[in-house]
Amino acid sequence: MAWNAQADDLENPVERGDRFYAERGESNDGKGRAEPQRILSAIEAYEEALGQDPSNLEARWKAMAALFFAGDFASSNEEAAPAFYDRGR
């Protein structure tokens, strides 16, 4: 599946986030770290959904999962990871 950073505007934000989240590990830096752009796009989409409806529990738990993935597998260094964990909490 080819990655397209220009997600279809007709998708709702949760669906768009799900698509980016599903592709989160398709490329890596060769050192076991996922390239961050896909997971950051998923986080952005889930946060957009939360902006539209703060009570959306599906978007909230998916955003938390994406933030923890970003901290564990896509952050550039160990110092950057805690910022993702803090946002997830």
Alpha-carbon dihedral 59, 12, 5, 69, rounded to 10 degrees: 10
Whether the model clears a pTM of 0.75, i.e. scores above it, the answer is yes
61 vs 88, residue with greater confidence: 61
Q: What is the pLDDT of residue 72?
A: 82
As a whole number, the mean pLDDT across the chain is: 83
pLDDT > 90 in the chain, percent: 45
Alpha carbon distances (Å) from 49 to 30, 56, 78, 87: 32, 8, 29, 16
Which residue shows structure tokens 């964990």?
Answer: 85
